[in-house]
């Protein structure tokens, strides 16, 4: 690229930045101008201090459900991804059916079906919390099966051949050679999945599970302060989501600078 082309490209980028900044400033000014400040002055965020323990319990439940669902889904996904590598067509078909069913239907429908329909079929009722965790686990396992499978198939053939030359057992090959490298490769997608299910856990409020949204709605109905409570709940989701995204990006960058990141 010539020097003049580089200069032109830099000018184009600078112009785009200026235009973007101006648009943001105008949009922000428009919002400030149209805000009903008389109503804003009536907001009382002290109600959050009164109920911070309940909100913290709701947040803890949200985080717990997310971790249980994703960790269990990841373990299931790893097992299914390994089984999908076996040369048995029937196993591949069954795994593909599992993945498509739980990945291609809405989580809300899955929750309702597991909580209301499945007990009618099996005669075994499940508490709302268990039904929600089962639905989230099954859906996360579907996504994580595909993510793990992609990570495994990204491992160069030379790694498999090296393990074979060293006469490593199948168990050692998977646990010491293939899976550690695959997990590093699938880290960005795994982090995105965790964040998606953390945000998606709010749908459990339809079963009145005492996660953050349900607790927030109950407090808002009792105190008649929905804006303050829901705003604070949204802020909690943002802080945890942004913090997790930041830490995962730092970890990804650190691994990318490590020789362990490159399986070759």
Instruction: Give pLDDT, residue 8.
Output: 62
Average pLDDT value over all residues in the chain: 89
Rounded Cα–Cα distance for residues 47 and 263 (Å): 53
Among 69-73, 89-93, 159-163, 255-259, where is mean pLDDT lowest? 255-259
Rounded Cα–Cα distance for residues 205 and 73 (Å): 21
Residue 262 pLDDT greater than 60, yes or no:
no
| Residues 229/48, Cβ–Cβ less than 8 Å | yes
Residue 204 pLDDT greater than 70, yes or no:
yes
Mean pLDDT, residues 184-188: 88
Rounded Cα–Cα distance for residues 139 and 147 (Å): 13
Tokens of 31: 């919002």
Instruction: Give pLDDT, residue 110.
Output: 95
| CB neighbour class for 141 (10 Å; exposed up to 12, middle 13-18, buried from 19) | buried
Instruction: Give pLDDT, residue 145.
Output: 96
Instruction: Give pLDDT, residue 72.
Output: 96
Mean pLDDT, residues 201-230: 92
Q: Give just the sign of the alpha carbon dihedral 84, 89, 94, 96.
A: positive
The share of the chain scoring above pLDDT 90, in percent, equals 59
Instruction: Quick: pLDDT tens for 122-158.
Output: 988 999 999 999 999 999 999 999 999 999 999 998 8
């Amino acid at each position: 690229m010539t020097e003049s082309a580089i200069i032109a490209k830099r000018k184009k980028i600078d112009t785009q930045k200026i235009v973007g900044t101006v648009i943001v400033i105008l949009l922000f000014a428009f919002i400030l101008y149209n805000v009903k400040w008389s109503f804003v002055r009536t907001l009382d965020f002290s109600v959050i201090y009164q109920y911070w323990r309940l909100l913290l319990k709701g947040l803890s439940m949200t985080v717990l459900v997310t971790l249980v669902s994703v960790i269990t889904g990841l373990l299931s996904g790893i097992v299914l991804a390994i089984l999908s590598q076996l040369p048995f067509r029937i196993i591949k078909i069954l795994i593909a059916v599992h993945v498509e069913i739980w990945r291609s239907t809405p989580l809300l429908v899955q929750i309702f079906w597991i909580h209301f329909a499945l007990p009618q079929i099996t005669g075994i009722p499940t508490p709302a919390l268990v039904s929600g965790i089962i639905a989230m686990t099954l859906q996360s396992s579907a996504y994580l099966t595909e993510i793990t499978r992609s990570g495994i198939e990204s491992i160069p053939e030379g790694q498999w051949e090296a393990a074979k030359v060293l006469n490593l057992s199948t168990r050692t090959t998977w646990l010491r050679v293939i899976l550690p490298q695959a997990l590093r490769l699938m880290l960005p997608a795994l982090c995105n999945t965790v964040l998606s299910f953390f945000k998606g856990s709010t749908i459990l409020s339809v079963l009145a599970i005492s996660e953050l949204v349900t607790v927030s709605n109950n407090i808002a109905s009792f105190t008649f302060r929905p804006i303050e409570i829901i705003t604070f709940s949204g802020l909690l989701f943002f802080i945890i989501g942004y913090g997790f995204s930041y830490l995962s990006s730092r970890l990804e960058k650190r691994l990318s600078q490590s020789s362990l990141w490159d399986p070759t």
